[in-house]
Structure 1
Amino acid sequence: MLCALIMAGGKGTRFWPLSTEEKPKQFLNLIGEETMIQMTINRIKPIIPIDRIFVCTGQMYVDLVKEQLPELPERNIIIEPEGRNTAPCIALSAFIIKKYYSGATMIVLPSDHLINDEEEFRKIVLDGNEFIKNNDNAIITLGIKPSRPEVGYGYIKYGSEKSNLNSHSVIKVEAFVEKPNREKAEEYLLDGSYLWNGGMFIWSANNILEKIKKYSPDTYEALHEIEEIDERWIKYLVKAQYKETEAISIDYAVLEKSEAIYVVPSDFGWDDVGSWEALDRYREKDKNGNIYVGMTKAVDGRNNLLISSTHKVVVEGLSDIYVIENDGKILVGHKSNVANVKELKNIV
């Protein structure tokens, strides 16, 4: 039984001031008409029904989840009392998913990534699920074929142990590699055996919980009673016990210590949309290269990034600038410096 876990508790600070702690980027329509979390859910729905899709988020975002995903069953909203990185989030969610769907396989996805070739993505998910059915102790990660020497992502180094499943390869992972400097990233690109770590995983709920029990026992001990108690008491147990979990990523807690880790090299137009520059890559532009989000317009200007959430913005006779407006805060600068916007947070 294939289930999906969408992790949606991030604060999205890199997209300030458009993304705020009250409404982070997963709840914004940065790329198209749908918000990022709506895109994520709709991309997986053709192969996983909504009753088997779960969203893990913080208490302050529950109303946003309900508003943007009205079809999602309320029981499928998993609430973290506080953010403690991905290992506790995944452990909590695995216990709850297992309670509803014994023997479930999980596809774990971030809520705020872009995937252009959704059909290819779904084929890879189904092939990965098939592999897990036949290799219950295995963990699958989706590794993104790099298109540039990116220094903002971690990498996956794969080896020669390989099997084929339909049209895709499943290859044994040699190592997870930290974000490199530019020189190393260029080496990885030329080497050809390194993939970007997109933070997408497939595993059986039983297997990941066994791994967490072995490698992050504090987290397992804090939450394992979820299996035994009545559903109505889960939120009280989690509220009382979640602070006892180990605040650590699943990569450090489990993946780097496990043996049966495999990667599926994936080429489906992925981007984590982690920077303002990503909008320049994917957002539709007018004939003069201007990008508009909200009530914005450029007159006699080229190559501008204009974003507004509440006010009308018109720019005349200017080129290569950004204007970002949100809730009355207006930031203007040279477009080449848009990556530094969040550094202005303490000034505005």
Structure 2
Amino acid sequence: MNQQQFSSSHIPGLDRFWAVIPAGGVGTRLWPLSRAAAPKFLHDLTGSGQTLIRATYDRLHPLAGNNIMVVTGQAHRDAVCDQLSGVAEENFILEPEPKDSAAAIGVAAAVLFEQDPEAIMGSFAADQVIGPDDVFRTAVAEAIATAVTNKIVTIGIKPTYPSTGFGYIQKGEKLEIEAAPSAFKVDKFVEKPQADVAQRYVDSGQHFWNAGMFVAPVRLLLQHLQSNEPELFEGVTAIARARVAGDVTEPMAEIWPTLPKTSIDYAVAEPAAEAGDVAVIPGDFLWDDVGDFAAIARLNPAADESGVTVIGETPRVYADDANGVVVTDTSRVIALIGVENIVVVDTGDALLVTTTEHAQSVKQAVESIKAHGDDDVL
């Protein structure tokens, strides 16, 4: 299905589809590049010349047109608006403080429900790398057609290796949906497994990585939110009604900080799967959540025989018998000699040195730095 074929006559439900881009999360495993004031979705981490959030918008626009809503922090409003000038001001929801995905997706669903109770929303994180775009859009089109049958639909990624860092989706029986020939029922969501279990999942062919993409009728999503997180449901509904009434500033300031902090997986997806209300569309495209610097090394192979991936505007990196990844935004000379799988991130006020094997541990380092009171570099 090419881009020209995306029309409501071909895809049931497309005429009431909204794409929602939650742009939260600092990405602490990418410190010191990604910080509270400049989270990872505002960076170009693939050398494409685009920030991750702009690439997300460009992938979704051919399907959703102007029906794109962005949920982001008040602190990032100007930077995100600069990146997404095509999104109308009224389609931004600004969070007073960071919350987990259930609040961000829940408030978007509640706002859309107030505008149109029959709306279908798709939630797609602002900080993922995906390609090719046309294969992604074909999967989303099938997800929309499946959501019309009153299902919450996730797009599961075919695993390419036994990752212990991702959750998994166990598929069930095939669904007979004319406009979604790839749709399956979801039997259950599985937590991040041990390595041997992850290998079994890959070998079985019955499991997908959970990429956190959900397409659903807003009515059904909110029903499950109300059943499982009633306090969260009441809060986002009150915010949405105030927004529609014309002044959301005070209710957002009062209610948002009190909302429970939980993920959309726990609040909606997992219990909905137990109730038989979740389907999966296999996503046969490149996907990476760029969760750490090892991912950046994977996504940006070394440009020359040095074996070192270098990302930066004016890199001055010299390598001898070394390999790994260097991210720099300074003019400082960096020399690597006889080191394997090195990760060096050089910024104006902080320096990180680790290995790709230990890239996931950067989060613990950030927590330690915070505990020592060095918030000025976070």
Instruction: Report the alpha carbon displacement of residue 147 of structure 1 after superposing the two structures with TM.
Output: 0.6
Instruction: Report the alpha carbon displacement of residue 128 of structure 1 after superposing the two structures with TM.
Output: 1.4
Cα distance change, pair 338–156 in 1 and its aligned pair in 2 (3 A): closer
Q: Is it true that 1:313 corresponds to 2:333 in the alignment?
A: yes
Structure 2 residue aligned with 1:75: 90
The amino acid that maps onto 2:253 is K
Instruction: Report the alpha carbon displacement of residue 337 of structure 1 after superposing the two structures with TM.
Output: 4.4
Distance 1:179 1:29 in 2: 28
The amino acid that maps onto 1:42 is D
Distance 2:108 2:196 in 1: 38
Equivalent residues of 1:121, 1:268 under 8 A apart: yes
Equivalent residues of 1:57, 1:79 under 8 A apart: yes
Distance 2:355 2:107 in 1: 44
Distance 2:355 2:301 in 1: 20
Gaps in structure 2 of 5+ consecutive residues: 1-15
Instruction: Report the alpha carbon displacement of residue 324 of structure 1 after superposing the two structures with TM.
Output: 1.1
Distance 1:343 1:214 in 2: 34
Instruction: Report the alpha carbon displacement of residue 101 of structure 1 after superposing the two structures with TM.
Output: 4.4
Question: 1:1-348 residue pairs with structure 2 within 5 A?
Answer: 1-32=16-47, 33-49=49-65, 51-133=66-148, 135=149, 137-166=150-179, 168-226=181-239, 228-229=241-242, 230-258=244-272, 259=275, 260-288=277-305, 289-294=307-312, 295-301=314-320, 302-315=322-335, 319-320=339-340, 321-333=342-354, 336-345=357-366, 346=368
- Count residues with an aligned counterpart: 345
Instruction: Report the alpha carbon displacement of residue 161 of structure 1 after superposing the two structures with TM.
Output: 3.9
Normalised by the size of structure 2, how large is the TM-score?
A: 0.84
Cα distance change, pair 226–304 in 1 and its aligned pair in 2 (3 A): closer
Deviates more, 1:337-346 or 1:320-329: 337-346
Gaps in structure 1 of 5+ consecutive residues: none
The SS at the match of 1:173 is strand
The amino acid that maps onto 2:28 is T
Equivalent residues of 1:131, 1:165 under 8 A apart: no
Equivalent residues of 1:142, 1:265 under 8 A apart: yes
Distance 1:19 1:97 in 2: 31
Cα distance change, pair 2–334 in 1 and its aligned pair in 2 (3 A): closer
Deviates more, 1:238-247 or 1:259-268: 238-247
Distance 1:88 1:335 in 2: 33
The SS at the match of 2:198 is helix
Distance 1:56 1:311 in 2: 35
What percentage of aligned pairs have identical amino acids? Answer: 32
Instruction: Report the alpha carbon displacement of residue 317 of structure 1 after superposing the two structures with TM.
Output: 5.0
Structure 1 residue aligned with 2:3: none
Normalised by the size of structure 1, how large is the TM-score?
A: 0.91
Distance 1:47 1:117 in 2: 15
Give me the CA root mean square deviation: 2.2
Distance 2:189 2:357 in 1: 32
Distance 2:264 2:362 in 1: 30
Cα distance change, pair 298–192 in 1 and its aligned pair in 2 (3 A): same
Dislocated runs of 4+, deviation >6 Å: none
Distance 2:280 2:336 in 1: 50
Cα distance change, pair 17–191 in 1 and its aligned pair in 2 (3 A): same
Equivalent residues of 1:290, 1:304 under 8 A apart: yes
The amino acid that maps onto 1:47 is L
The amino acid that maps onto 2:189 is F
Deviates more, 1:83-92 or 1:122-131: 83-92
* 1:45-97 Cα distance to aligned partner (Å, 9 max, x none): 12111x31111112221122122222222211111223331112112111222
The amino acid that maps onto 2:346 is E
Distance 2:355 2:270 in 1: 41
Distance 1:332 1:86 in 2: 30
The SS at the match of 1:45 is helix
